């Protein structure tokens, strides 16, 4: 089951007609590249400019960053953020994982002046507070394309609603006290979709938020709780022009014994409201590696005349999992998954074994479970002994689909079935071998028989493919001058994997070395030893642990990741993993003081 804590409450019924096929504005495809660190000069410009003025020999406490508020800002803007956490002594520096953003510590503890360049990459990014002794946990910071405002109290009641002068807009808010409700008034015109997306849980806030839409008299029109995670997305088609009210509230997460509306300084959120063209994905949801293709945008208020977007995957590295679209009708970049086989789009009707859509394997098929009870079926021919991996991608697309997949014979009899791959991976994977020559059908549907245009998927009908994954035991490391430390990696070989893998570290500061290590043929634990010389450069830098296929042309490499999702988490965070780790070099352990001379 995908969300054990909440059944999907859904976007309002008026949203069921969403999913137009067009977009307005220009777009840019960001090609995937092998794991690499930006140039050192670019990184340096992103660090806060105030140094930690500590007396010689003094030691600072490692910073602890809980959140920053506002948790994001518009590209091309400048503003002040307040960081919550422990920063003793002040000032500390802020690192961000992209170019074009500068955090400058002010004289007020916890406050930074932030400048975001107009061409800074749209979307969520990691920020970290650091000093000479170490670094904080990574936290999300979002670069947006729309004008941003701050939540202003009092606005608990719809009669106290905070007016938003123009749409699209982003509200940065806090549910500051228990029972808090934030209300915003917007003007909407008939014939448009009013769309509201809230990020709270996905920012790491301890909240399970929901949205209500009210008319000008306070009557409830629509409600949304969960989407593909605990955060709501509400889409409502406006039939009558006028003033509408959006209300934000939340329960505490993880759930508490008492069911009351949540509120605390940690309940930070970003609310995007729009009646303009707004894309949430593409069809197909993938592109064939090494080729150019065209996809159609999906979303609300989209004009059919400008549906198409070009995807250039000719330069995509062999192990790249996705590239990204950057249409200006999307609040963030959109993933386009990559594969080595043709990308198809489902064609209705295909609900039964008799009318299943015939496809040639291997291939990928993108589609939607568009209505409650909908099922899609695809027929293919196989020979005895042919092996397949039927994999559904939904979570990676931000889809609400809680998918199952099964294989049937030509008469519709079930031969194999799969639901969630693991407790933390909700998309199913089904390994299957054809028992005889013949025609077979692979079917896909929603576990709870739900459906809507947002229930998108990409289904793989492909043979097993050698691959590997790499995870690390931590997201930050430290080493003292003259000392060593160890980075522990776990390499998981998939479908046989590769027997010629080597692990290394990129981005090391001067005076720190790591000897490359061969990965065992079966994978498993790999230890990379950090060795700091007596004159190693002090301070912290981002590094990457890489596992490379030796002598591969073109180069094939994966960066190790540290998973920020732990346990049975109900849905994605804005950023689930980090692949840029932090290395802090410290002076090391001072030599013991000589014994005191005895007095005569």
Q: What are phi and psi of 371, to 5 degrees?
A: -150, 160
At a CB cut-off of 8 Å and minimum separation 6, what does 169 contact? Answer: 146, 147, 148, 149, 272, 273, 274
Question: What's the token pair of residue 229?
Answer: 């995670």
Distance of CA 132 to the CA centre of its chain: 29
- CA 83-88-91 angle, 5° bins: 65
Residue recorded with tokens 């890489």: 546
Whole-number Å distance between alpha carbons of 545 and 503 = 7
Residue 396, SS3?
helix
Question: What's the token pair of residue 470?
Answer: 């790499």
Identify the CATH number of the domain defined by range 467-586: 2.20.130.20
> What's the fold here for domain 147-276?
Jelly Rolls (2.60.120)
Note the residue count of the chain: 600
Residues 441-500: pLDDT tens digits?
A: 999 999 999 999 999 999 999 999 999 999 999 999 999 999 999 999 999 999 878 989
Across the strands, what pairs with 399? Answer: none
Asked if the domains at 147-276 and 279-462 fall in one CATH topology, the answer is yes
- CA 557-584-85 angle, 5° bins: 110
The CATH architecture that domain 29-144 belongs to is: Sandwich (2.60)
> What's the fold here for domain 279-462?
Jelly Rolls (2.60.120)
Cβ-in-10-Å burial (0-12, 13-18, 19+) of 305 comes to: exposed
DSSP letter for 561, please.
B
pLDDT under 50: residue ranges of the chain: 1-58
3-state secondary structure 255-306: CCCCCCECCCCCCEEEEEEECCCEEEEEECCEEECCCEEEEEEEEECCCHHH
One-character DSSP codes across 159-223: GGPEE--SSSEEEEEE--STT--EEEEEEE-TT-EEEEEEESGGGT-SEEEEEEEE-TTS-EEEE
- In this predicted structure, what is the pLDDT of residue 4? 36
Whether pTM exceeds 0.85:
yes
- In this predicted structure, what is the pLDDT of residue 59? 52
Tell me the CA distances in angstroms from 520 to 43, 183, 485, 503, 547, one per residue in order: 34, 57, 21, 10, 12
Q: Could you tell me the residue ranges of all domains in the chain?
A: 29-144, 147-276, 279-462, 467-586
């Amino acid at each position: 089951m995908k969300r054990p804590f909440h059944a999907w409450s859904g976007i309002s019924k008026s949203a069921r007609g969403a999913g137009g096929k067009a977009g307005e504005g220009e777009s840019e495809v960001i090609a995937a590249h092998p794991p690499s660190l930006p140039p050192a000069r670019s990184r340096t410009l992103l660090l806060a400019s105030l140094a930690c003025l500590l007396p010689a020999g003094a030691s600072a406490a490692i910073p602890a960053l809980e959140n920053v508020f506002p948790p994001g800002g518009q590209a091309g803007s400048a503003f002040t953020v307040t960081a919550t956490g422990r920063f003793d002594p002040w000032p500390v520096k802020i690192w961000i994982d992209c170019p074009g953003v500068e955090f400058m510590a002010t004289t007020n503890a916890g406050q930074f002046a932030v400048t975001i360049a107009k061409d800074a990459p749209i979307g969520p990014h990691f920020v970290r507070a650091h000093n000479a002794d170490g670094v904080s946990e990574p936290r999300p910071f979002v670069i947006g394309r729309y004008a941003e405002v701050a939540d202003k109290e009092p606005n608990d009641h719809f009669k106290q609603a905070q007016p938003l002068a123009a749409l699209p807009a982003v509200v940065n808010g806090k549910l500051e006290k228990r029972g808090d409700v934030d209300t915003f008034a917007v003007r909407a015109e008939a014939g448009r979709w009013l769309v509201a997306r809230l990020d709270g849980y996905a920012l790491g806030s301890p909240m399970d938020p929901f949205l209500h839409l009210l008319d000008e008299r306070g009557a409830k029109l629509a409600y949304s709780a969960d989407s593909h995670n605990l955060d709501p997305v509400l889409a409502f088609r406006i039939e009558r022009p006028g003033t509408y009210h959006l209300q934000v509230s939340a329960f505490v997460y993880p759930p508490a014994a008492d069911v009351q509306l949540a509120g605390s300084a940690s309940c930070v959120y970003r609310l995007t409201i729009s009646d303009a063209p707004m894309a949430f994905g593409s069809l197909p949801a993938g592109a064939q590696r090494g080729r150019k293709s065209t996809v159609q945008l999906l979303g609300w208020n989209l004009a059919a005349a400008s549906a198409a977007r070009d995807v250039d995957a000719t330069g995509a590295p062999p192990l790249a999992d996705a590239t990204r679209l950057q249409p200006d009708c999307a609040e963030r970049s959109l993933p386009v998954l990559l594969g080595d086989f043709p990308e198809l789009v489902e064609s209705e009707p295909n609900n039964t074994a008799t009318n299943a859509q015939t496809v040639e394997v291997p291939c990928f098929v993108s589609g939607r479970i568009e209505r409650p009870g909908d099922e899609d079926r695809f027929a293919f021919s196989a020979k005895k002994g042919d092996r397949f991996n039927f994999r559904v991608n939904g979570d990676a697309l931000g889809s609400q689909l809680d998918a199952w997949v099964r294989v049937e014979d030509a008469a519709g009899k079930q031969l194999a079935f799969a639901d969630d791959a693991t407790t933390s991976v909700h998309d199913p994977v089904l390994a299957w071998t054809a028992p005889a020559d013949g025609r077979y059908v692979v079917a896909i549907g929603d576990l709870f028989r739900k459906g809507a245009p947002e229930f998108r998927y990409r289904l793989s009908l492909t043979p097993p493919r050698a691959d590997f994954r790499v995870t690390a035991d931590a997201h930050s490391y430290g080493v003292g001058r003259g000392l060593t430390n160890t980075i522990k990696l776990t390499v998981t070989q998939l479908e046989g994997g590769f027997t010629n893998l080597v692990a290394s570290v990129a981005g090391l500061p001067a005076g720190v070395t790591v000897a490359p290590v061969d990965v065992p043929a079966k994978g498993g634990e790999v230890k990379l030893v950090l060795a700091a010389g007596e004159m190693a450069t002090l301070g912290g830098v981002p590094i990457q642990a890489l596992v490379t296929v030796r002598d591969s042309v073109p180069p094939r490499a994966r960066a190790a990741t540290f998973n920020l999702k732990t346990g049975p988490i109900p849905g994605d965070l804005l950023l689930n993993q980090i692949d840029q780790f932090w290395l802090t070099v410290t002076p090391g352990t001072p030599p013991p003081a000589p014994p005191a001379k005895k007095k005569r």
